[in-house]
């Protein structure tokens, strides 16, 4: 478990001989430390997600600019290799620059946020528009709703998705119902975006691993968006800030640093109602979003090689309302579907997708819709690797679905 | 017993609103008699609130009998049901909290370790003072080692208590061992003072097979029912209303148990940042309306991660909020362990008076360390600020100076202590790091009391994967390997 390259434990004593000396190197947040996600040395499937080569990311400027969703002028422009938190930062920066109404706030946002997404924004745009809030999620989300209802475009940050629950009432009873209950007065809280880092990182345990999207997909009036990459994050966040519906924007925190790709320098807007087919295939459709797309992609590579099959991969992007047509068209073609997400299976997004497929494409199905998801439990520290879907489980699901 | 000392507890019950911020008698009076007078007034005189929540007594609550006074023709005040003692005034005076003098901070020692009030002195016995000192040093050594161990990648996360050792250790030392405790996360010293062993700390930090938390929680989320300390949750402030409810449970139990049985209180720790959460306000309010025997200890260390107190609140710290809830309140210098102890003892005593009442203590400190191993605080505060604080004041050096002043401590003893504690920590570290991880069945057990049918199918599916793809998983690092899942499934629900 402990690699031999680690200095012997007694070396710790050295530190104690000079306790006043500054020892702290530049720290990084929770997302770092690969050492704690472990797969055995002999693993062939698990731990084969390679961010440097994965087809999920644009490793060259050319592929980045081929994206048909980008407008002509953007496709003629430049790209820059950036990670996901920088892409978020660039989108926020553009919104602050071009729309006076944009506000950016949350706990520890002023110094850049614990994941560095708001770095330098307070310095560049002033603390009237980019600021720290007191430590109260219900307070800061309610504040954002109020600001939106009077014409601003607030982007509120919840430090971790695991800590959104104090704001649950504000989101579900207020943000979601604002326009509806205002009736013909038309008052709404459009422009409101609630950003939050979500998902597993390998050692976040109960309160730094959650993906609570299903709690919000049960609420009409909200839009739930989860980007898979820096390019997607930038374009989807800009569209979210421009949208007149309140948006829950969940950022897979493991991707903040891990996902690096070529991203167009110019601003652009990606659709909030379209799923994206990332890879075409004939035999089985995998529907997923966020981090598990990387897992799926690695599993597909192994499965296509081993079973000679052809797998289609779809990124939902907007989890609610979701692009049912794209999913149904694909499943009608392949006849088989697998839904993959990190959060628990019980009443999860997979249940909704599977039920819709069963309802609308029943006669085309060659196998039951398979769900590869977290189990009905909490994410215990030492058990995350067994709970969150990995390459092996997706690979096996492809096999089972094909063999049905 | 706590001697009568000039520890003035701000008691909202006895003074009209603005004056509660600085209880200062207009006449000259010795500190001692002033103290006892205030205590007498506050706690002998039947408070108007006293009976409201007393479930065992039938008498009409005071506020109900008071209502009729409203109609007296020449009444100086009308007892509006919402503000009972408010007098009429023809001056339209806006209350400006910023005009009030700040709530004073209680200390026993100055920063050179000298006793400020020689007459009252220090009631802590020399032997106990030495124990407290050793525990504080042990805590700071464990912190240094574990911080560095995290930097080396040997554990995923750690949080140090630097600057706040005296708050945790001092307050815990002033409680009864059966008092129930709820912590935030920076109260490792509470566990240590109560007897959580180095092995228990290390087993939790490494989440190994001997971890009481069964490997489920992030490092520093300790908990043990044997020491009556509830397990830490990362979610801020959620424990504060729990503490109020738990204290209500104890109140009922205190009242029904045999009269000679020890009465218990609840103590709840939290940071000044957490005190911004709705849960804090809800907790203090319900604790007041139910008059629960709880002491709420706020560690005000100046920061919530990067957020300075100026972005957190604009009142006079957290102590000023006590008055708003009608809760007796103290503010204490957290670098002075004797002040912390005396305040906690006093608060404990108050909390048990009249079958229970909540008390708020704000312990002032400075967060010397980074927020956690995930944080680099020099991104938001000057290094010099930290260095200044370290040099200026610190609970460990302040007690050391006092000990040295009494010839109880010297450089040799210091060196010997440090080297012994270092060895103890490192050998516990060694033992814990070598142990296996807890059994995989613990991933599913205890979500509900019994495994559900759905969970059972999830466990079966997972076991099937682990068995068919043995090369993909390190099950042998876990106690019992895959077989522990068989045990789980074999158990009849
Ligand atoms: C509900 C919730 N929101 C946000 C966080 C993230 N968080 C962890 S610690 C912390 C700062 C807490 O500061 P404070 O209460 O002052 O305690 P200190 O760290 O200073 O001891 C924050 C914002 C959390 N754990 N829970
Ligand atoms: Mg603090």
Best probe residue, ligand 1, of B232, B274, B308 (max atoms within 8 Å of C-beta): B274
pLDDT at position B145 is 98
Residue A25 domain flag? no
Q: Please say whether the dihedral angle defined by the alpha carbons of residues B142, B144, B148 and B151, taken in this order, is positive or negative.
A: positive
Are B424 and B365 found together in one domain?
Answer: yes
Do residues A251 and A344 both lie within one domain?
no
What whole-number percentage of chain A has pLDDT above 70? 91
Cα dihedral A380→A385→A388→A393 (10° resolution): -150
- Residue at a domain's end among B94, B117, B147: B94
Write the DSSP assignment of A325-393 as a string of letters.
Answer: HHHHHHHHHHS-EEEEEEEESTT-HHHHHHHHHHHHSGGG-SSPPEEEEE-SS---GGGHHHHS--HHH
Q: Are residues A260 and A284 in the same domain?
A: no
- Our measurement of the distance from residue A394's CA atom to the centroid of its chain's CA atoms, rounded to an integer in Å, reads 19
SS3 A276: strand
Instruction: Give pLDDT, residue B479.
Output: 98
Quick check: is B365 in a domain? yes
For residue B328, the domain's CATH number is: 3.40.50.970
Residues A257 and A293 in one domain: no
> B393 with B445, same domain?
no
What pLDDT does B77 receive? Answer: 72
Locate the chain A residue with the closest alpha carbon to B280. Answer: A136
Task: For residue A315, tell me if it sits in a domain.
Answer: yes
pLDDT in tens, B303-336: 999 999 999 999 999 999 999 999 999 999 999 9
Average pLDDT over residues B111-117: 96
Query: Which among B306, B376, B458 has the least Cβ separation from residue A376?
Result: B458
Ligand 1 pocket: which residues have CB below 6 Å? A 107, 135, 137, 159, 163, 166; B 186, 234-236, 271-274, 299, 301, 303-305, 367, 371
Does B246 score more than 70 pLDDT?
A: yes
> Given this model, what pLDDT does residue B79 score?
77
Instruction: Indicate the top mutation candidate among B305, B306, B312, B373 to test ligand 1's pocket, ranked by most ligand atoms within 8 A of CB.
Output: B305
Pair B370, B454 in one domain: no
Nearest to A398 by CA among A314, A338, A332, A339: A338
In a domain, B475, yes or no: yes
Residue A55 lies in a domain: no
Query: Sign of dihedral through CA atoms B381, B382, B386, B389?
Result: negative
Please identify, among B70, B94, B118, the residue that sits at the C-terminal boundary of a domain. B94
pLDDT at A127: 98
Q: B352 and B478 in one domain?
A: no
Do the domain assignments include residue A342?
Answer: yes
> What are the beta bridge partners of residue B115?
B109
Q: Is B477 on the interface with A (CB under 8 A)?
A: yes
Active site residue B234: yes
Do A193 and A328 belong to one domain?
no
Q: Phi and psi for B479 in degrees, rounded to 5?
A: -50, 125
Q: What is the mean pLDDT of residues B276-301?
A: 98
A188 and A281 housed in the same domain: no
Tokens (6 digits) for B432: 């814990």
Residue of B390, B474, B480 to mutate, interface with A, max A Cβ within 10 Å: B474
Q: What is the residue range of B462's domain?
A: 440-490
pLDDT at A27 over 60: no
Same domain, A246 and A281: no
Same domain, B377 and B401: yes
- Taken in order A350, A351, A353, A358, the sign of the CA dihedral is positive
- CATH code for the domain in which residue A242 is found: 3.40.50.970
- Is residue B58 a part of any domain in this protein? yes
Q: Two tokens at A377?
A: 């439990």
Helix (H, G, I), strand (E, B) or coil at A32: coil
Q: What is the pLDDT of residue A134?
A: 98
Region B224-245: mean pLDDT is 98
Rounded to the nearest 5 percent, the helix, strand and coil shares of chain B are 45, 10, 45
Count of C-beta atoms within a 10 Å radius of residue B51:
18
Q: Residues A252-281: pLDDT tens digits?
A: 999 999 999 999 999 999 999 999 999 999
Domain assignment present for residue A16? The answer is no
Can you give the pLDDT at residue A47? Answer: 86
B303 part of a folded domain? yes
pLDDT, average across residues B435-464: 98
Q: Which of A108, A387, A396 sits opposite B306 (nearest CB)?
A: A108
* pLDDT surpasses 50 at A1: no
Looking at residues A314-341, what average pLDDT do you find? 98
- Give the pLDDT confidence score for residue B1 in this predicted structure: 41
CA gyration radius, chain A: 22
Structure-block tokens of residue B107: 């200390």
pLDDT per residue as tens digits for the range B10-42: 665 544 333 333 333 343 444 444 444 433 433
Residue of B171, B276, B372, B377 marked active site: B372
Query: Do A107 and A231 sit in the same domain of this protein?
Result: yes
Of B87 and B338, the structure prediction assigns the larger pLDDT to B338
To the nearest whole angstrom, how far is the Cα of A62 from the nearest Cα of chain B? 36
Cα–Cα distances in Å, from A192 out to A30, A86, A176, A222?
A: 27, 21, 11, 10
My answer on whether B411 and B480 are in the same domain is no
B-chain CB neighbours of A166 within 8 Å are: 277-279
- Ligand 2 center to B268 CA (angstroms): 15
Mean pLDDT of B170-191: 98
Supply the ipTM of this predicted assembly. 0.92
Among A217, A238, A264, which residue terminates a domain?
A264
A208 is known as an active-site residue? yes
Name the β-bridge partners of B106. B332
- Checking if the pLDDT of B60 tops 80, the result is no
Interface probe with B: pick from A40, A136, A345, most Cβ of B within 10 Å: A136
Q: Which stretches of B215-363 are DSSP H helices?
A: 239-256, 278-289, 309-312, 320-325, 337-352
**Does any CB of chain A come closer than 8 Å to the CB of residue B422?**
yes
Residue B115 lies in a domain: no
For residues B49 and B144, membership in a common domain is answered with: no
Decide if pLDDT at A379 tops 80: yes
Q: How many domains does chain A have?
A: 2
Q: Are A291 and A250 in contact (CB under 8 A)?
A: no
CA distance B382 to chain A (A): 13
In a domain, B60, yes or no: yes
**pLDDT tier at A26, thresholds 50, 70, 90:** very low
pLDDT on residue A39: 78
Active site residue B148: yes
Do residue B351 and residue B428 come from a single domain? Answer: yes
Query: Does residue A32 lie in a domain region?
Result: no
Residue B341's Cβ-count burial label (10 Å; 0-12, 13-18, 19+) is buried
Q: Is residue A149 part of a domain?
A: yes
Q: How far apart are CA B117 and CA B120, in angstroms?
A: 6
Residue that has been written with the tokens 């039938």 in this structure:
B58
Q: What is the predicted pLDDT for the residue at A74?
A: 98
Residues A290 and A197 in one domain: no
Residue that terminates a domain, selected from B388, B410, B434: B434
Q: What is the pLDDT of residues B338-379, one digit of tens each?
A: 999 999 999 999 999 999 999 999 999 999 999 999 999 999
Query: What's A372's domain CATH number?
Result: 3.40.50.920
> Within this chain, do residues B55 and B175 fall inside the same structural domain, yes or no?
no
CA–CA dist B467, B465 (Å, integer) = 5
First to last CA, chain A: 38
Specify which residues A102 forms β-bridges with.
A153
B302 φψ region: left (φ > 0), alpha (ψ -120 to 50), beta (else): left
Give the pLDDT confidence score for residue A190 in this predicted structure: 92
Q: Within this chain, do residues A376 and A330 fall inside the same structural domain, yes or no?
A: yes
In a domain, B242, yes or no: yes
Question: Three-state SS for A147?
Answer: helix
In a domain, B144, yes or no: yes
Band of pLDDT at residue B210, cut at 50, 70 and 90:
very high
Same domain for A281 and A257, yes or no, is: no
**B234 and B313 belong to one structural domain:** yes
Contact B156, B218 (CB under 8 A): yes
Contacts of B436 in chain A (CB under 8 A): none
pLDDT over threshold 50, residue A30: no
Domain finish residue from A243, A264, A285: A264
Sign of CA dihedral B14, B17, B19, B20: positive
Domain count, chain B: 3
pLDDT of residue B407: 98
Nearest-angstrom CA–CA distance, B43 and B47: 8
- What is the domain range of residue A174? 61-264
B221 belongs to the catalytic site: no
pLDDT tens digits along A289-316: 999 999 999 999 999 999 999 999 999 9
Both A91 and A198 in one domain: the answer is yes
Residue in the structure block whose two tokens are 């000396």: A21
Q: Are residues A88 and A206 in the same domain?
A: yes
Establish if A37 belongs to a structural domain.
Answer: no
Confidence tier at B252 by pLDDT (50, 70, 90): very high
Do both B73 and B220 map to the same domain?
Answer: no
| Partner-chain residue, chosen from A1, A9, A23, that has the shortest CB–CB distance to B430 | A9
Q: Which of A4, A27, A195 is nearest to A102 (CA)?
A: A195
Rounded Cα gap, residues A88 and A84, in angstroms: 6
**pLDDT tier at B483, thresholds 50, 70, 90:** very high
Last residue of a domain, one of A264, A284, A310: A264
CA distance B217 to chain A (A): 5
Q: What is the pLDDT of residue B10?
A: 66
Q: What is the average per-residue pLDDT within A324-329?
A: 98
Q: Examine the domain organization and report whether B161 and B305 are in the same domain.
A: yes
């Amino acid at each position: 478990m402990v690699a031999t390259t680690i200095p012997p434990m007694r070396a710790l004593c050295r530190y104690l001989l000079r306790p006043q000396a500054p020892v702290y190197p530049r720290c990084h947040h929770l997302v770092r430390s690969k050492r704690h996600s472990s797969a055995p040395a002999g693993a062939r499937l698990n731990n084969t997600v390679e961010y440097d080569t994965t087809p999920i990311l644009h490793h060259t400027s050319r592929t980045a600019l081929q994206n048909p969703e980008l407008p002509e002028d953007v496709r003629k422009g430049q790209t820059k290799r950036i990670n996901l938190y920088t892409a978020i930062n660039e989108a926020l920066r553009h919104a602050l620059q071009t729309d006076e109404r944009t506000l950016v706030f949350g706990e520890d946002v002023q110094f850049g946020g614990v994941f560095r997404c708001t770095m330098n924004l307070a310095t560049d745009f002033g603390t009237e528009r980019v600021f720290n809030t007191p430590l109260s999620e219900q307070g800061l989300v309610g504040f954002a709703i109020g600001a939106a209802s009077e014409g601003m475009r607030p982007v509120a940050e919840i430090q971790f998705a695991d800590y959104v629950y104090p704001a649950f009432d504000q989101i579900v009873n207020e943000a979601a119902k604002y326009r509806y209950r205002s009736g013909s007065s038309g008052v709404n809280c459009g422009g409101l975006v609630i950003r939050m880092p979500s998902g597993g990182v390998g050692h976040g345990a109960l309160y730094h691993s959650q993906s609570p999207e299903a709690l919000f997909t049960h609420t009409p009036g909200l839009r739930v968006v989860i980007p898979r990459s820096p390019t997607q994050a930038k374009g989807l966040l800009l569209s979210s800030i421009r949208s007149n519906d309140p948006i829950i924007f969940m950022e897979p925190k493991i991707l903040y640093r891990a996902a690096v790709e070529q991203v167009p320098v110019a601003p652009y807007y990606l659709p909030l109602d379209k799923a994206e087919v990332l890879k075409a295939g004939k035999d089985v459709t995998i529907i997923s979003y966020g981090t598990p797309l990387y897992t799926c992609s690695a599993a597909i590579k192994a499965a296509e090689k081993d079973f000679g099959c052809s797998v289609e991969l779809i990124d939902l992007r907007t989890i609610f309302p979701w692009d049912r047509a794209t999913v149904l068209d694909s499943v009608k073609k392949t006849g088989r579907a697998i839904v993959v997400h990190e959060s628990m299976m019980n009443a999860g997004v997979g249940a909704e997708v599977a039920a819709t497929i069963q309802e609308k494409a029943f006669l085309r199905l060659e196998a039951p819709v398979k769900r590869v998801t977290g189990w009905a439990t909490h994410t215990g520290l030492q058990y995350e690797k067994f709970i969150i879907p990995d390459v092996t489980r997706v690979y096996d699901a492809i096999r089972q679905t094909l063999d049905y | 017993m706590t001697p009568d000392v000039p520890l003035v507890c701000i008691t909202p019950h006895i003074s009209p609103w603005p004056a509660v911020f600085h209880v200062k008698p207009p006449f000259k009076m010795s500190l001692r008699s002033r103290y006892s007078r205030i205590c007498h007034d506050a706690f002998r005189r039947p408070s108007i609130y006293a009976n409201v929540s007393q479930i065992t007594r039938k008498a009409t609550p005071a506020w109900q009998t008071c209502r009729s006074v409203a109609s007296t023709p020449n009444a100086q005040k009308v007892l509006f049901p919402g503000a009972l003692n408010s007098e009429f005034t023809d001056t339209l005076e806006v209350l400006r909290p910023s005009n009030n003098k700040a709530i004073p901070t209680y200390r026993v020692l100055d920063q050179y370790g000298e006793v400020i009030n020689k007459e009252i002195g220090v009631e802590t016995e020399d032997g106990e003072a030495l124990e407290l000192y050793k525990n504080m040093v042990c805590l700071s050594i464990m912190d240094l080692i574990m911080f560095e161990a995290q930097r080396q990648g040997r554990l995923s996360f750690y949080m140090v208590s630097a600057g706040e050792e005296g708050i945790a250790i001092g307050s815990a030392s002033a409680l009864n061992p059966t008092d129930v405790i709820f912590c935030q996360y920076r109260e490792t010293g509470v566990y240590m003072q109560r007897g959580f062993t180095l092995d228990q700390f290390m087993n939790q930090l490494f989440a190994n097979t001997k971890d009481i938390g069964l490997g489920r929680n992030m490092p520093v989320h300790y908990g043990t029912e044997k020491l009556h300390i509830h397990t830490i949750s990362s979610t801020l402030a959620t424990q504060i209303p729990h503490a109020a409810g738990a204290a209500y449970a104890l109140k009922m139990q205190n009242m029904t148990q045999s009269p000679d049985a020890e009465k218990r209180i609840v103590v709840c720790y939290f940071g000044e940042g957490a005190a911004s959460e709705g849960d804090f306000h809800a907790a203090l309010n319900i604790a007041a309306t139910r008059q629960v025997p709880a002491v709420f200890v706020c560690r005000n260390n100046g920061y919530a991660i990067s957020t300075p107190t100026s972005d957190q609140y604009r009142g006079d710290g957290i102590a000023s909020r006590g008055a708003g809830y009608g809760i007796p309140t103290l503010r204490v210098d957290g670098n002075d362990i004797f002040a912390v102890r005396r305040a906690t003892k006093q608060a404990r005593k108050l909390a048990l008076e009249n079958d229970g009442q909540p008390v708020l203590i704000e312990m002032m400190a400075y967060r010397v360390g980074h927020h956690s191993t995930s944080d680099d605080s020099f991104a938001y505060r000057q290094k010099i600020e930290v260095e200044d604080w370290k040099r200026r004041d610190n609970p460990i050096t302040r007690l050391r100076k006092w000990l040295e002043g009494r010839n109880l401590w010297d450089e040799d003893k210091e060196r010997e202590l440090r080297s012994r504690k270092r060895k103890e920590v490192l050998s516990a570290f060694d033992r814990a790091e070598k142990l296996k991880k807890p059994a995989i069945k613990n991933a599913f057990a205890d979500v509900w009391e019994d495994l559900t049918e759905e969970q059972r199918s999830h466990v079966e599916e997972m076991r099937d994967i682990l068995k068919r793809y043995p090369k993909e998983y390190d099950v042998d690092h876990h106690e019992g390997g895959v077989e522990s899942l068989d045990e789980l499934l074999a158990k009849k629900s």
